[in-house]
Amino acid sequence: MKNALLLFSFFFCTFLNVGAQAPDANLGIIPAPESINVKTGYFLLIPDAGITIEYGNSSDRKIAQMFHDFLKQHYSLDLPVTNKAKKTDMKIIRFSSNNYNGGDKESYKLTITPSEIKVSGKDAGLLYGLQTLMQLFSFKEGPPISIPCAEIIDAPRYKYRGMMLDVCLHFYPVSFIKELLDLMAEYKLNTFHWHLTEDQGWRIEIKKYPLLTSVGGFRNGTIIGRYPGTGNDSLHYGGFYTQQQVKDIVKYAQDRYITIIPEIELPGHSSAAIAAYPQLSCFPDESTKIRSTTPWAGSPTGKQVQQTWGVFEDVYCPSDYTFKFLENVLTEVLALFPSHYIHIGGDECPKDSWKKSAFCQQLMKEKGLKNEDELQSYFIRRVEKFLNSKGREIIGWDEILEGGLAPNAVVQSWRGIKGGIETARQGHDVVMSPRESVYFDYLQGKEIQEPLGIGGFTPLKSVYDYNPTPAELTTQQQKHIIGVEACLWTEYMPTNAKVEYMFMPRMLALSEIAWSPLNRKDYVNFSSKRVPKHLAKLDSTKIIYRVPEVIGIEDTVLYGGNFSFTLIPSVSGANIFYTIDGYTPDATTYLYKPPLVIVIPKGEKRILQTVVITPSGKRSRVTRTLLDNASSPGLPR
Ligand code: ACM
C-alpha cells in the first residue's frame, strides 16, 4: 500500500512539475532569503501518505507542534509529531537544532527534497525556518500541497529589526498588541519598541505612583480633525496596561523571539506625568499652558493631560525629586522588561522652562554646564548612569547628541540620517529610523485619496528603497548601524484598523530591508510577485491593509493614439476595473482582461482610471492616466 502511494506521489509530482508555472526566484518569500537554490521536483503533502513531523530535541518540539497545528488549521491535515520517525515512514518533515552548524541564533537552513523537508536552526533560527516553510504553502489550496524542492540558507542582515508603536496618542488593547507581534514574528522582525509615556497619556501601571495612570492615563478630550483641530470631542479618553498585562505581553513576545524595549520619555513629552505629580515640573503651581488655537475640553486650570498634538513647554525639572521619581519608575520597569536596552526618549524637549527656572540656572552654574543643551545631556547621563548600574543600556532619539552624548548611549536617528552618521562616527551604535523612509504615520499615497493623517509621503517603494547603512561611513563605522526600525505615531490612528492600514503593506518592505542582503533587493519582484501573494493571504483575514494601486500603470500622461496595457492586480486574485469615460471605476464598470487595448481618435484625450477590488471587497485608490492624442510631449497642452 505504501509503495502504491509512493508511486502515486511520484507520478503526481512529475505531473505538477510539468503543469506548474516556473516558480518565482524568491518562491514568494518575504523577506527574501540570503540564498535560495530552487531545484526540480516537489515535496507533495497529501492525506494518509505516511508523512511524519519529527523534532530533534525537546526544545524543538514547540516548533514542530506549531507546524502540525498550522497544517491542521488550514488544510485539515493531522500529521503525527514524534522525536523519532519510524523507518517505515514514507516522508519526514524534520525540525532540528541538533545538526545545525550555522552562524548566529537567527540563521537557519531549509532543505526540501521530494521525500524530506529539513529545517535546521537554533532558537529564533528554527522559528524563522518554520516561518519560511509556511510561506511556501499556498494559503487556500490543498491538499494536495506541492512544496517546491529547494535549499535555502538564511541569516539576517541586521540584528535589530524593529517596529515602534506609540500607544499614548491613542491607546490599543492587549489583543491588538499581540496581533502586531504575530505579524512581526511572521516577517522575522525581532524588536518591538513600545512607546509608553507621552504628553497625552501615561500607559503603564507603576505601583509606587498610582496617579500616573489614574490621572495621567486619561484626558478630557481630543481635538477633532487635523491639527490644530476643528473642535474637541470632549470624550474622557485613555487607558493603561496593568503590570500583569505587561508581563503577559512580554512573555508572548519572548515566545516569538521578539524583544520588547519600553520607552519612558524624558525629559520632554512629560505633561501626563506632570499632571499626576506637579512637583515634577519646575513650576508646579502654574497651570498647563493651552495654545490659543487648541479647542479644549474640561478645566483649563491646574496641570492637565494634553488634548492636542505637538511639543509642550512644561517638562521634567532636573531636581532630586524628579530623579528619585524616575529611578523608582525605572526600577519597576526593569522588573517587567528583561530587554538589554531601555529607551529614554530624549526628543523634542523645549528648554523654555529651564531657562526661566532659577533652580535650573543655579544647577547649571554648580555643574559647570554652559547652556540648556548641556543640562539636557546632564539629565540623560544621570539616568544612563542609573540604568548602566542595573546592567542596562539606553537608547535615545537623536536629540541626545546635542550637548554631548552619554557615554554608552545608542542613538535612534529619526530626523533624517545625519544623527545616525554622527553617532557612528563617535563610535556609538545606531538604530536607523529616518522619518522620510520609515515613519509609517506618513501617508502612503496622494493626500487627497488617503485617510486623515499627519502628512508626509512614505509609500511602499520609499520604504523598500531605503538602505539603513549610509555609504558615507567607513566599513568600521558601518558596523555601528545595528538595525532599522519603523515608527508608528498614532495622532490620527484612533482605531486598530487605522493602525493596520498604516502598518501593512509597508511592514513587508521594512522586513526585507531589515533582513535581506542588499544583493537580493529587487522592487519589481517584491511588489509584483511577492507582495500580491502575501496581501491575498491577509485579505482572507480580518486584518485591514492598504491595497496598493494596480501594477503596470501610474498617474501620468501618455501621448499617442494606440495603447496596450498589461496590468497586474496588487493583490493576487483581485479584479481590476477601469473606465475611460470619466466615471470613477468600480465593480459595475469594465473588468480588465489582458491585454487592454485602447485607441484614442486623433485630436482627442481620455482618462484611463483603474481600481483594484480584492476578494474581500477592499479597494485600492484610483489611478488616473491621461491618454493624450491631441498634443505632443513638450508642447503646451
Ligand atoms: C519623534 O518623532 N519625535 C522621535
Q: Can you state the angle between helices 372-389 and 320-336, rounded to 10 degrees? A: 40
Q: Cell digits for 87?
A: 523507518
Query: Does residue 436 line the site of ligand 1, with CB under 6 A?
Result: no
| pLDDT tens-digit map of 410-420 | 999 999 999 99
Q: What is the pLDDT of residue 634?
A: 67
- Residue 436 Cα to ligand 1 middle (Å): 12
Chain-centroid distance, C-alpha 42: 33
Of 42, 291, 217, residue with least CA distance to 144 = 42
State which ligand 1 atom lies nearest to the alpha carbon of 489.
Answer: 2
Residue 21 has pLDDT above 90, yes or no: no
Strand 108-112 relative to strand 145-154, pairing: antiparallel
Q: For residue 31, is the peptide bond before it cis, meaning its omega torsion is within 30 degrees of 0?
A: yes
State which ligand 1 atom lies nearest to the alpha carbon of 414.
Answer: 4
C-alpha distances (whole Å) from 456 to each of 262, 396, 425, 436, 440 are: 26, 23, 29, 7, 10
- Residue 346 Cα to ligand 1 middle (Å): 9
State which ligand 1 atom lies nearest to the alpha carbon of 269.
Answer: 3
Q: What is the pLDDT of residue 85?
A: 80
Q: What is the pLDDT of residue 87?
A: 77
Query: Does residue 578 line the site of ligand 1, with CB under 6 A?
Result: no
Of 440, 409, 429, 382, residue with least CA distance to 163 = 440
Which band of pLDDT confidence, cut at 50, 70 and 90, is reported for residue 88? confident
Which band of pLDDT confidence, cut at 50, 70 and 90, is reported for residue 7? very low
Query: Does residue 354 line the site of ligand 1, with CB under 6 A?
Result: no
Ligand 1 pocket mutation, candidates 414, 437, 490, criterion most atoms within 8 A of CB: 414
Q: What is the pLDDT of residue 12?
A: 33
| pLDDT tens-digit map of 39-77 | 999 999 988 888 999 999 998 999 999 999 999 999 999
Query: Does residue 43 line the site of ligand 1, with CB under 6 A?
Result: no
- Residue 349 Cα to ligand 1 middle (Å): 11
- Residue 457 Cα to ligand 1 middle (Å): 16
Of 348, 483, 374, 390, residue with least CA distance to 429 = 483
CA distance 12 to 7: 9
Q: For residue 228, is the peptide bond before it cis, meaning its omega torsion is within 30 degrees of 0?
A: yes
Helical (H) or strand (E) element with 523: helix 523-525
- E strands in 183-230: 191-195, 197-198, 201-202, 218-219, 223-224
| pLDDT tens-digit map of 170-220 | 999 999 999 999 999 999 999 999 999 999 999 999 999 999 999 999 999
State which ligand 1 atom lies nearest to the alpha carbon of 487.
Answer: 2
Nearest CA to ligand 1 atom 2: 414
Q: What is the pLDDT of residue 635?
A: 58
Ligand 1 pocket mutation, candidates 263, 344, 348, 349, criterion most atoms within 8 A of CB: 348
Q: Which residue has the cell 531545484?
A: 39
Q: What is the pLDDT of residue 142?
A: 76
CA distance 67 to 76: 12
CA within 13 Å, CB half, 302 = 9
- Residue 194 Cα to ligand 1 middle (Å): 13
Of 395, 390, 386, 379, residue with least CA distance to 343 = 395
Q: Which residue has the cell 513629552?
A: 269
Query: Does residue 151 line the site of ligand 1, with CB under 6 A?
Result: no
State which ligand 1 atom lies nearest to the alpha carbon of 439.
Answer: 2
- Residue 263 Cα to ligand 1 middle (Å): 12
| pLDDT tens-digit map of 92-146 | 999 999 766 667 889 999 999 999 999 999 999 999 999 999 999 987 777 899 9
Cβ contacts of residue 434 below 8 Å, gap of 6+? 413, 414, 415, 416, 417, 420, 466
Ligand 1 pocket mutation, candidates 263, 395, 397, criterion most atoms within 8 A of CB: 397
Amino acid of residue 214: S
| pLDDT tens-digit map of 581-631 | 999 999 999 999 998 999 999 999 999 999 999 999 999 999 999 999 998
- Residue 360 Cα to ligand 1 middle (Å): 25
- Residue 390 Cα to ligand 1 middle (Å): 27
Q: What is the pLDDT of residue 267?
A: 98
Ligand 1 pocket mutation, candidates 489, 490, 491, criterion most atoms within 8 A of CB: 489
| pLDDT tens-digit map of 237-281 | 999 999 999 999 999 999 999 999 999 999 999 999 999 999 999
| pLDDT tens-digit map of 455-483 | 999 999 999 999 999 999 999 999 999 99
Residue 1 has pLDDT above 60, yes or no: no
CA distance 346 to 166: 15
Q: What is the pLDDT of residue 636?
A: 52
Do the beta carbons of residue 533 and residue 572 sit within 8 Å?
yes
The overall average pLDDT reported for the chain is 94
- Residue 347 Cα to ligand 1 middle (Å): 6
CA distance 300 to 297: 8
- Residue 350 Cα to ligand 1 middle (Å): 13
Query: Dmax of the chain from CA atoms?
Result: 90
- Residue 165 Cα to ligand 1 middle (Å): 12
Nearest CA to ligand 1 atom 3: 347
CA distance 210 to 223: 27
State which ligand 1 atom lies nearest to the alpha carbon of 397.
Answer: 4
CA distance 302 to 291: 15
- Residue 399 Cα to ligand 1 middle (Å): 9
| pLDDT tens-digit map of 422-461 | 999 999 999 999 999 999 999 999 888 899 999 999 999 9
- E strands in 273-358: 341-345
Q: Cell digits for 187?
A: 516577517
Of the candidate ranges 8-22, 100-114, 184-198, 563-577, the one whose mean pLDDT is the lowest: 8-22
List phi, psi (to 5°) of 470. -65, 135
Residue 29 has pLDDT above 80, yes or no: yes
Q: What is the pLDDT of residue 447?
A: 87
CA distance 169 to 203: 10
- DSSP string for 70-98: HHHHHH-----EESS--TT-SEEEEEEST
Of 454, 535, 529, 465, residue with least CA distance to 500 = 535
Query: Does residue 414 line the site of ligand 1, with CB under 6 A?
Result: yes
Q: Which residue has the cell 471605476?
A: 585
CA distance 174 to 156: 29
Query: Does residue 309 line the site of ligand 1, with CB under 6 A?
Result: no
State which ligand 1 atom lies nearest to the alpha carbon of 435.
Answer: 2
| pLDDT tens-digit map of 520-529 | 999 999 999 9
Provide the percentage of residues in the chain whose pLDDT is more than 90.
Answer: 89
- Residue 286 Cα to ligand 1 middle (Å): 27
| pLDDT tens-digit map of 332-384 | 999 999 999 999 999 999 999 999 999 999 999 999 999 999 999 999 999 99
